[in-house]
Structure 1
């Protein structure tokens, strides 16, 4: 068990004895390992540094740089599908984004600058990949095996708390198409892009019309001789009105930087708009129905009256069943003279190109696979809990977590963006922030009480999953579309989304429901009460009469009271949701 130091007592006294000889809530030392230095890992490093003392943090990152998916993805047109000014931490705006939808290189720089500004790289070991985590019964934490990618050596480490911030969009995969290895042209994957490849004047094949494929096509079309794009299913593609691509002028950037409150209000308005769209995902709401008609008309318009494209590309299933993408310039590109659309399944890849279910072979010079990632939640390395079970096996089918944060039976293990958290419900970085805050509250309790283990109860996970499944039956996500939101095909359960809005998630995680957690203590659970002294009394600079006041100015004691202060109830005239056409609507919940 990790010890902490109490002034005046030797370090040979065991943890429980130290607690009894120290003041209430003494902060014992806690050793934390975080896997991944992408957005989530960097934020957790920042939060720990800002709020904690007497801790050790090591962040293992498999890449040579920070920023995760935004470091890895460099394909032409790679950008975020969330407005850039709202793809930042709530407290850390960026003044000079180039446009509404920023490139991956700009986003990488934002997170890299964030790491440098707050000296977060001191915690990070780049080019180190975690290969396993094993519960240590004696110490009550995890033995972690790490491989140095620089020289292949193995590092053995230990932590009291293990945080998995490896994300879900960085384990890219080749498509499962027979013969792919036989292709003799240049084979590329969007998530493993080779900048040395020159596409100029080449005949390029493009597999996939998900987010990556939609971004790639309009960016390569003007500089290649021909693009043959292979599409196997329809998808909703249209920019949201008011959030189309826009390049910020130097004057706009100047005003963001110099006019107090202007950028803040701009960001708030965009965030309000994003949060106001949740009704879109609820079946048979005015918002969903209105948006469906609007997006269909937008797609028809952008497809230039091409009846074949309209039939094949406009879905029958609801808007929002798959993740929406702005698709700037994509639909218009399909009608360009040097673009050929092949609709259907690719049955085989030959040494020259692709054979489709129409029986034809389509030779290409370069074949780009925009086929995404392995978005299953099964860990990519063994995580062995106290009972010897491997989380890889437990989550080999449908992954079931507690609020997207933790797994029953795996104590002291926390997860960013785990199963059923809001990665498609609204602004995602806001959700990551509240996950980090929740984890900090758990770690604080672990550090200031004599807790040995904490893990969600299985019954709490079971009840949450039952509620989630009931809720999902009323959403468009449950429609029979092929989506990475689902674990096992179009008819599978929704495993990647929260049963509510992002704002709903933020409120759900505001307080730690310890009755949902199984907590085990080191010795007597009340040993944290210590020697009878308060933390105030051992601080000579503190006010020992701090609670004597002239009026009752304390914080609200109720959840509702605290929420009304937090969300500034009464300060906004009208927050009605609007559909993508701009019309105000009322969601029927």
Structure 2
């Protein structure tokens, strides 16, 4: 028999009244609105569907299709810098990746297929953009304002819990260079690519040497008449992170598809390697020192140009900016049809770029590989019970609780918020543990007469203090210009978690209720109900389930639980992973 379900009500006090009629932990109806149907939003829909009953969910997506950044980014060479078989959910492998580093089109297909397989599209409203969320004091929860991008009509939807899964790397922006509106050639941004533009035989300008620019250059160089690439600062271009690019053979793909243990062990080996790289980001470690020396050697060998080496090899630590595997990038800089212009662009003219060397560089097509707005400030007003707008609160520095919530903004949860492991290791693993943490909060909300939950302000202050102290011993603290720092090279690290991805997963395994401010509808113990248990509502359950022949309980202590979860004792201890080509380097597992 199903649990006793508490009906939905617009009056919070009736929740406590209804609970007195039912058993302990009765499930009330929970209305969830999720912003964004990218990877995080789709995972939230999947997990809610799998683990919960008596809920309703709408995922509002501004694009015409799901999959977020992997739908938007289609520029030449666009790919993920994580090996394909490990850019999947832990429980949902893809058997037929074409190569170790697959294209954005394949990644889009993975997430689109995931949504189709589990019928998640029924929760999604595409071409609907959230433009505001305002706390409703009478109902509790948020009145969410949504613009229908087909009709320009604005509708209002109310929810108990608002989840922002808008992501961090999909709010693209033009570079802040004067005159960009005056350019009369073809202007493109990597995150807003026009597939109808043919670059063949054209003179192309490329602004930027971040991840997108590093992928674009070697892809277009063989097909254009000339590339003039504008670079304003050095960056570390890494060798491929342990796994070289490799197109899988038919036999390898067949083994992956028909031998689950082969694929699972391959994925585990890759993940172990990715999780073994955290030492690179800690100052003074052998891993960091040896990696930097190796990078310098590799960059010099590939550039073969003292002028470029002097300007492109940084004097700040490896990892201060996100490491990007430069497949063919450094070699492309030396090609005959590539001109490197180092320095600032003072203005964009009708013909091209006017640089600080006084020269104008005319181009037929100008590609801006200039990234995204990564301020973490919400893209729409989020107004809490106090009347404060989170956009204003976070305008100078975004300060969250563990990257998932903000003080004084109850019932508001964030995927990949400030100071989560978005650059510390496997990011999809971090997203999964964020989703699980959110579901534990939602479960608590659903089975208790809670009206509001938000992290305590003092918990956020303490977390930020700990984070700042930790960051001083990392390479991220170095004065490089990086999207990891919202306030510039000398500012605090606002993007990254103070530890590894495995460290984050372990920190997020259990809720720390002492860090949360919780308010109730009526008496906080109304959830105890009418004295009956959930077990007594189920005639098929064993009403003496605790009578046993031996103690087979799951571990209670944190240490014993972790040993069970991480399968302690099942893996031979491995040496640390490095980029240096030594025996401890991550290598492609043999099939």
Normalised TM-score (structure 2):
0.97
C-alpha deviation, 1:140, in angstroms: 0.9
What is the aligned partner in structure 2 of residue 171 from structure 1? 171
What is the aligned partner in structure 2 of residue 357 from structure 1? 356
CA distance in 1 between counterparts of 2:118 and 2:258 reads 23
Count of aligned pairs = 579
C-alpha deviation, 1:14, in angstroms: 2.5
C-alpha deviation, 1:582, in angstroms: 3.8
What do the CA deviations read for 1:412-436 (whole angstroms, capped 9, x no partner)?
0000000000000000000000000
What do the CA deviations read for 1:218-250 (whole angstroms, capped 9, x no partner)?
000000000000000111112235312111111
Question: Is 2:78 aligned against 1:68?
Answer: no
CA distance in 2 between counterparts of 1:239 and 1:62 reads 36
What do the CA deviations read for 1:375-427 (whole angstroms, capped 9, x no partner)?
11111110000000000000000000000000000000000000000000000
C-alpha deviation, 1:13, in angstroms: 10
C-alpha deviation, 1:301, in angstroms: 1.1
What is the aligned partner in structure 2 of residue 544 from structure 1? 543
Contact 2:12-2:139 within 8 A present in 1 as well: no
What is the aligned partner in structure 1 of residue 408 from structure 2? 409
- Residue aligned with 1:218, SS: helix
Residues 443 and 13 of structure 1, relative CA distance in 2, 3 Å threshold = closer
Contact 1:484-1:496 within 8 A present in 2 as well: yes
Contact 1:244-1:326 within 8 A present in 2 as well: no
Question: Is 2:556 aligned against 1:557?
Answer: yes
What is the aligned partner in structure 2 of residue 44 from structure 1? 44
CA distance in 2 between counterparts of 1:582 and 1:534 reads 60
C-alpha deviation, 1:113, in angstroms: 0.1
C-alpha deviation, 1:321, in angstroms: 0.3
What is the aligned partner in structure 2 of residue 144 from structure 1? 144
CA distance in 2 between counterparts of 1:456 and 1:281 reads 29
Equivalent positions of 1:15-94 (< 5 A) are 15-94=15-94
C-alpha deviation, 1:18, in angstroms: 1.1
Equivalent positions of 1:57-136 (< 5 A) are 57-136=57-136
Residues 201 and 13 of structure 1, relative CA distance in 2, 3 Å threshold = closer
CA distance in 1 between counterparts of 2:456 and 2:88 reads 34
CA distance in 1 between counterparts of 2:250 and 2:122 reads 35
What do the CA deviations read for 1:89-115 (whole angstroms, capped 9, x no partner)?
000000111111111100000000000
C-alpha deviation, 1:12, in angstroms: 13
Contact 1:451-1:522 within 8 A present in 2 as well: yes
- Residue aligned with 1:76, SS: coil
C-alpha deviation, 1:576, in angstroms: 2.7
Residues 34 and 551 of structure 1, relative CA distance in 2, 3 Å threshold = same
Equivalent positions of 1:419-458 (< 5 A) are 419-458=418-457
Question: Is 2:321 aligned against 1:286?
Answer: no
CA distance in 1 between counterparts of 2:470 and 2:296 reads 26
CA distance in 2 between counterparts of 1:241 and 1:540 reads 55
CA distance in 2 between counterparts of 1:528 and 1:353 reads 67
C-alpha deviation, 1:326, in angstroms: 0.7
CA distance in 2 between counterparts of 1:243 and 1:337 reads 29
C-alpha deviation, 1:139, in angstroms: 0.8
CA distance in 2 between counterparts of 1:107 and 1:241 reads 19
Contact 1:425-1:502 within 8 A present in 2 as well: yes
RMSD across aligned C-alpha pairs, in angstroms? 1.4
CA distance in 1 between counterparts of 2:309 and 2:222 reads 23
Contact 2:241-2:325 within 8 A present in 1 as well: no
Question: Is 2:367 aligned against 1:368?
Answer: yes
Contact 1:241-1:582 within 8 A present in 2 as well: no
C-alpha deviation, 1:575, in angstroms: 2.9
Residues 12 and 405 of structure 1, relative CA distance in 2, 3 Å threshold = closer
Contact 1:88-1:429 within 8 A present in 2 as well: yes
CA distance in 2 between counterparts of 1:300 and 1:249 reads 33
What is the aligned partner in structure 1 of residue 320 from structure 2? 321
- Residue aligned with 2:238, SS: coil
C-alpha deviation, 1:361, in angstroms: 0.4
CA distance in 2 between counterparts of 1:560 and 1:449 reads 29
C-alpha deviation, 1:585, in angstroms: 7.7
CA distance in 2 between counterparts of 1:444 and 1:13 reads 19
- Residue aligned with 1:298, SS: helix
Contact 1:42-1:120 within 8 A present in 2 as well: yes
What is the aligned partner in structure 2 of residue 330 from structure 1? 329
- Residue aligned with 1:14, SS: helix
C-alpha deviation, 1:296, in angstroms: 1.1
Residues 584 and 558 of structure 1, relative CA distance in 2, 3 Å threshold = farther
What is the aligned partner in structure 2 of residue 532 from structure 1? 531
Question: Is 2:341 aligned against 1:342?
Answer: yes
CA distance in 2 between counterparts of 1:240 and 1:204 reads 26
- Residue aligned with 1:525, SS: coil
CA distance in 1 between counterparts of 2:6 and 2:101 reads 51
C-alpha deviation, 1:584, in angstroms: 6.7
Equivalent positions of 1:179-578 (< 5 A) are 179-240=179-240, 242-303=242-303, 305-578=304-577
CA distance in 1 between counterparts of 2:242 and 2:570 reads 24
What do the CA deviations read for 1:538-560 (whole angstroms, capped 9, x no partner)?
11111111111111010001011
- Residue aligned with 1:223, SS: coil
Contact 1:231-1:341 within 8 A present in 2 as well: yes
Q: State which drifts further: 203-212 or 305-314.
A: 305-314
C-alpha deviation, 1:573, in angstroms: 1.2
Q: State which drifts further: 182-191 or 575-584.
A: 575-584
CA distance in 2 between counterparts of 1:211 and 1:244 reads 17
Residues 190 and 241 of structure 1, relative CA distance in 2, 3 Å threshold = closer
C-alpha deviation, 1:182, in angstroms: 0.6
Query: Which structure 1 segments of 5+ residues have no match?
Result: none
Contact 1:405-1:418 within 8 A present in 2 as well: yes
C-alpha deviation, 1:5, in angstroms: 4.0
